[in-house]
Chains A and B, each alone.
Chain A
Amino acid sequence: MNLALSDEQVFLREAARGALSRFKTLEAAREALDGNDSALPDLWPTAREAGWPGLLIDEAHGGAGLDAFDAMLVLGECGRVLAGIPLLGHLPATAILGDGAGGSYQSQLLGDLATGERRAAYLPAQPPSELDERWSTDPASGAARSPLPSAGAAGADGRVPVTGSIAFVPDAPGADVLVGVAFLDGKAVGVAIDADAAGVSIEPVSRYDATRSLGHVSLDNAPALVLDAPEESLAAAWYLAQALIAAESLGSVETALDVTVAYAKERFTFGRAIGSYQAVKHSLTEVLRQLENGRSLLYYAGWARAGAPAEFALAASAARSVGGRALDTAARTMISVHGGIGATWEHDAPLYFRRAQLSRRLLGGTGSATDRVAGELIAQADAA
């Protein structure tokens, strides 16, 4: 029993914090909201230098051979400063590719993705549940889930034509390769599609939080390589994405709480620091409570991916559910404890609020992760 960070993990986290501190990410986030997209720093070179693109790729393919928890530590640091690094899209894609034996293409691609020479985007596909027995993807608008893209018969080059659309794909704009799930002969299979291939269109979209790069992906008979990836691995990629966005959200909660606590100590009303009032103190301890719960679940998810794969869906969904709610609470508390100034453009609080609002609705939404927790536990109860 040991839930402490290893020395290497502490180093990984400190190095990430150090590397990201060289950029004025919050100022850039605000400027980008004002329409100056070029203000956002390109952090991919920093990520490559640090070896983050290959975190989950084995050493034989040039990666670091680390596990989900290490990746979550890096995402947490990104979340602290709202750094827009396309790891949320890239890492689950590398996990799918790395899980299969693969051919020479898959092997070559992993090598390129490990160094970050090429960048991947994961096309999020939600695995079936008791309530919805189909695989599904995020829709462009509305409550109805979209179907998986479908694949046709293989052509002469061995590639299959894939048709369909997936909305709000994290980090799709500028990606070199798209890795996702498609229906082939009534079965969900892993596919890789070159982003510049014929029939691929990626429409960059921006919603509310300028630090988050998203794209609507349309595939019209786009040539796809069918991957050697078991269905469990395709489902695990979805849960990995849930765990990563949970870690990123909890990183944002840490900063929001630190900043708000500092303000509550220095701001005085009626002759007292506002942090001495129970109403303020209790709302801050509520943020801490949710943060600590979220942290504990990151350990669960980080351990379960390799240590108890049958529990990974539960662990990652629980982390997403608690992490998402924690960020909602932290962002709103940050604004209200700061009073009116917390709702002004110049303040950082609205940036965390925007992050919270958008994150909550990506990758199936926090609510679907919460439902998944119930579903997994009900399935466990049935099996017991």
Chain B
Amino acid sequence: MVDSTLPNDLPGAADKTARRSGVRVPRLIAGGVILLTWEFVVRLFAPPFVAKPTTILTAIPRVIVDPAFLTATASTLSAVAEGLAIALVCGTIIGLTIGRSVIVERVLRLYVNVFYALPMVVVVPLFALWFGYTSAARLVTVVFASVFSIIVNVADGARAVPQEYVEVARSFRSARLRALLDVVLPASTPYLLAGLRLAAGRALIGAVVAEFITAIGGLGYFILYNSRTFHDNEAFVGVLLLAAFGVGFEGLVGWSTRQLLPWYRRDERSA
């Protein structure tokens, strides 16, 4: 309906050439330049508590064995995983129905579009009011943040299924539900994965914002607490982990696209 950023820009798929060793040298140099600039700018111009590469590096071994950090990580990641799972199931069901039924589409399109366009951070105070300052508020935020990008993409995918596929299934007397599950769902999987990829990013943001606002223990709160007490280096380890999680999920979606859908190529879509 609105968004269909398909997995056409996955890191691994695009640059096979990048694997060549000729590429590694400029990358390492660029990384080195970035880190050195950061280090020296902070050393020269910023107060001593500000995070810089060397101090972050020395903080890493300390932080990753810190039980508080481990609990926080587990808490945030499990909330994100749980929320994404809920959003995936609900979003796929709703998306398929919207994509294949004109009436449902006309009734729900307005609401899906509105909630999709709504910056999800604005509802966090409302959820805090409804669910209290508990992890339930965070879970609901994660689901809310991620479900609409899945709905929108799955609906797009279900609509884009070639009519002949459905007709063939029908002429072999396949039941409606059967055709939906065995024909439409597999055919819209690339869209589903694209939606999931968007959803994961939004889910992470949702979880962090919910933790900032409600002060529920988690990676977001860990970052907030440490930076408030001038432990910027420790806090930055949390940011690195969040970034790693974001990148890792992108990679995972890219990998599963290649594994599950080897027939799917980005150029097919551009028509």
- Whether both chains belong to one complex is answered with no
Taking beta carbons and an 8 Å cutoff, which residues of B are in contact with A? none
Taking beta carbons and an 8 Å cutoff, which residues of A are in contact with B? none
